[in-house]
Structure 1
Amino acid sequence: MKNIKILPIALALFFSGCLYSCNDWLETGSNDEVLEDDAFSSAKGFRSALIGVYRLVTSENLYGQELTWGLLSSISWNYQSGYAIPKYRGPLQYDVYTDNNTKTIVSNIWGAAYNAIANCNNLLKQIEGSNANFEYTWEKDMIMAEARGLRALLHFEMLRLFAPAPITGYKGTTIPYVTDYPDLLPQHKNTEEVLTSIIEDLEYAKQTLRPIDVDELRNKSIWIVNGNRMDNIEYVLFQGVLNLKSDGTREGYGDGFFAFRGYRFNYWGATALLARVYSYMRDNTKAEQYADTILNDWVGSDKFHLYSKNPKATSNPNAIDGKRIPEPLIAFWNDKVCDNYKTAISSIYNRMVDPQYLFDGDLTEDYRYTDLYNSSNYRYRVWDGQDASYSTNNSIVNYSNPLIPVLELPEIYLIKAECLAARGEIPKALALLKEIRDARGCTNTVSASDYDSFMEKLVNEANRDFIARGQTWHFLKKLNWPKLYNGTPANKTVPDGWYVLPMPDSETAYY
């Protein structure tokens, strides 16, 4: 019998109190090894393995810190160089990624991502030939689709971090796209080859998950309260109101493997990520196609929608939800993320660069400034956690604070708006920006006469919306944008090489 190495985090409980009791999960021995045949002998084992991958991607080396409020927000110049966490200060002070702290962070990101990818590949290898007795006929397909979706997402992150953007015309080798387990000698591929593999995995995930997420899960998730049907996306995806019984009907609050789809890789996330990928490729036709699927079919009062200000925030800004449910299209869960953030920043770190110039014209209205920016300590209210005592819906605090947003609805608006502007439809593009701004509380009108002037407005909106979320650097890189907002009216000229992180020296050790 073959032994495989499983990191302890990969077998830990994922949703605290939301999936199974600890006794229901695989337990590792003192050497953290489990027997592979035992681990993948049942549907429960495959569920555990998949949840284990989610635990890996929410670790501090990935979305739990570095790819969100950590390194990526630092090199987006969200933080003052003198008040950033010390390990992030090198690039901010010297405009290069050569210091030892940055090299260590980059190496850890690479290693964590490819370890999670290896776990996806092993899961896929085991499940394809499995005769395990799954609870539903579509469960095996769902697990495979999620694993392939996560594999695509992580490879896309590595490509965006470690290779020049397609807009630069770079044709050389980039990263390996690893699909085998184990793969001792993965081949580095060019950008086009990597993107082709990413799209193939995402198309599989999208097509497989649509009938499961939409027809089987959402459409059967009917929550009756005082005689009213409650199938709002916010409830279905983020509050887990689904718990299928063996006959396919629902009973009680969702606390099983099939609930809380908003914190897992789902159909909407696959569709949105395809829009992001094609936008990164500068293929506006395809990017708009997938953006339209989200905006035309899945935006509405009972679906995904832009988060508006909590009325209680007028008296106390802690009432505002910095995670902005139900905007996340891809999001993960880590119930320690707020505590980890508070520990890491101590009482002195992560002071924001002065946001006044960024929000010029909307300083008294835009809640991203008036409520999310804490002028008393110069920090931004995203990862501190929402205060239940001031929330209009205290239960949502339980689902917002552990949430890690990865891809959100406003980005889809921005992608669509750029596509419209690129073909000269400036008024329609401005109308989409207005929808975002209206939801954020802005009343001033923005104007533009051509593509270039519109893109200035769009980038300003992206800079506002992505603060401390880890997406600013990626968005600007996609455009090869020459300026970074750094708290000054003139902004900062992007240093040479800023949009490509150095590949770690030991990058071949992680497959």
Structure 2
Amino acid sequence: MVNGVLSPKETIWGLFSATFYTNVRANLYLTGSSSCLFLKSDHDDTYLADKEGTDYRYEKWFKNYSAIEASGMRCVKILDTYELTYSTRPDARVKGINMLRLPELYYIITEYYLSLENQDEAVKYFDKVLQSRGLTGYADRQGATLTLEKVIQERRKELICEGQYFFTQKRYNQSIYEPKSGKLYPASNDIYVFPLPENETEYRY
């Protein structure tokens, strides 16, 4: 799931893309251009919150650059570092976009069991993701209770830079922070609801 390839262990559904690296490099690696995107200034706090153990994602997915092309903290999670460093990618690694990964299914199952107030089953599936990321599972945390808020927080950590967290925000009607402008957009129909196309109403009367 790192290096702009389909994860051999976690990808359930992915897409091959010949131009994926070009787009990601422009948006997430390069700085100073109109297309570059910056991390939220307090992104560290997101990974340090409710943390027990060593979060491999925080250690591996972010890198602080001081070069002409890239400067400051950048998210390298989906950047194809093989192409960036002109290295040879293993043949088994297919470059492309992870559209659905195993952790997302575990989050869905976790939310289902939380809706039934079945803490034990919810923790069982949630811990599969936590432990694979180097963190202590809730089953081993004294007095800890897993809540929907904590699942949403974990989704944000896991899905950063994949374009998937938007759907979580939409489902729970959350406000959206846009790091480039520094603006917070309150949740509303203007953000989350597409207007009905005019041609949909042409033959209704």
Which residue does 2:60 correspond to in 1? Answer: 371
Letter in 2 for 1:359: Y
After superposition, where does 1:245-284 map in structure 2 within 5 Å?
Answer: none
Q: Provide structure 2 residue ranges, at least 5 long, that are not aligned to the other structure.
A: 66-71
Residue of 331, 340, 364 corresponding to 2:14: 331
The answer to whether the aligner puts 1:381 opposite 2:69 as a matched pair is no
Match of 1:359 among 47, 50, 55: 47
CA distance in 2, matches of 1:350, 1:466: 16
**Per the alignment, in what secondary structure is the counterpart of residue 470 of structure 1?**
coil
Q: Which has the higher strand share?
A: 2
Alignment of 1:423-442 (within 5 A): 423-442=116-135
TM-score, normalising length: structure 2? 0.70
* 1:383 alignment partner AA: I
What amino acid is aligned across from residue 152 of structure 2 in structure 1? V
Tell me what 2:158 maps to: 465
1:482, 1:493 within 8 Å by CA — same for their partners in 2? no
CA distance in 2, matches of 1:423, 1:473: 25
* Higher relative contact order, chain-length normalized (CA < 8 Å, sep 6+): 2
* 2-structure distance, mates of 1:459, 1:407: 17
Deviation at 1:389, TM superposition (A): 10
Distance in 1 between the 2:125 and 2:177 partners? 23
Q: Aligned equivalents of 1:357 and 1:484: distance in 2?
A: 17
Asked if 1:495 is matched to 2:187, the reply is yes
Identity of aligned residues (%): 20
How far apart are the structure 2 equivalents of 1:337 and 1:482? 29
Aligned AA (1:356): D
- Say how many residue pairs are matched: 177
Instruction: Report the Cα offset of residue 410 of structure 1.
Output: 0.8
Give ranges in structure 1 of 5+ residues lacking alignment. Answer: 1-306, 308-319
Taking the aligned partners of 1:344 and 1:486, their CA distance within structure 2 comes to: 14
1:485 positional shift: 6.5
Q: Cα gap change, 1:333/1:506 in structure 2, threshold over 3 Å: closer, same or farther?
A: farther
Change in 2 beyond 3 A, CA 1:464/1:344: closer
Q: Retained in 1: the 8 A contact 2:52–2:136?
A: no
- Alpha-carbon distance in 2 for matches of 1:336, 1:406: 16
In structure 1, distance between residues paired with 2:26 and 2:174:
34
Counterpart residue number, 2:113: 420
Preserved contact between residue 39 and residue 75 of structure 2 (Cα < 8 Å) = yes
Instruction: Report the CA distance between 1:358 and its aligned residue.
Output: 1.1
Sort the Cα spacing of 1:371 and 1:503 in 2 relative to 1 into closer, same or farther, 3 A: farther
- Secondary structure, aligned partner of 1:359: helix
Q: Is the 8 A contact 2:27 2:37 kept in 1?
A: no
| Residue type at the aligned position of 1:422 | S
**Aligned to 2:14, what secondary structure does the other structure show?**
strand
Q: Output the amino acid matched with 2:38.
A: R
* Contact 1:421 1:454 (8 Å CA) reproduced: yes
Distance 1:503 1:397, change over 3 A: farther
**Take 2:118 and 2:199, find their aligned partners in 1: how far apart are those partners?**
48
Partner residue, 1:347: 31
- CA distance, structure 2, for counterparts of residue 473 and residue 440 of structure 1: 22
Provide the residue aligned with 1:395 in structure 2: 90
Matches within 5 A, 1:78-97: none
Residue type matched to 1:369 in 2? Answer: Y
Matched with 1:183 is none
Query: Do 1:420 and 1:428's aligned partners in 2 also have CA atoms closer than 8 Å?
Result: yes
Amino acid at match of 2:23: N
Distance 1:363 1:423 in 2: 26
CA contact (8 A) 1:417 1:432 kept: yes
CA-to-aligned-CA distance 1:301-343 (integer Å, 9 cap, x gap): xxxxxx7xxxxxxxxxxxx546533211111101221023224
Asked if residue 411 in structure 1 is aligned to residue 95 in structure 2, the reply is no
Change (3 A) 1:374 1:418: same
1:199-218 equivalences under 5 Å are none
Equivalent residue letter for 1:350: L
- Please report how far the alpha carbon of residue 355 of structure 1 lies from its aligned counterpart in structure 2 after TM superposition: 1.3
Residues in 1 aligned to 2:63 and 2:135: alpha-carbon distance in whole angstroms = 19
Q: Name the SS for the 1:351 alignment partner.
A: coil
1:395-431 deviations in Å (ceiling 9; x for gaps): 15741xx211111111110111111111111122122
RMSD between aligned residues: 3.4
Partner SS, residue 424 of structure 1:
coil
Compute the TM-score of the two structures, normalised by the length of structure 1.
0.31
Higher helix proportion (structure 1 or 2) = 1
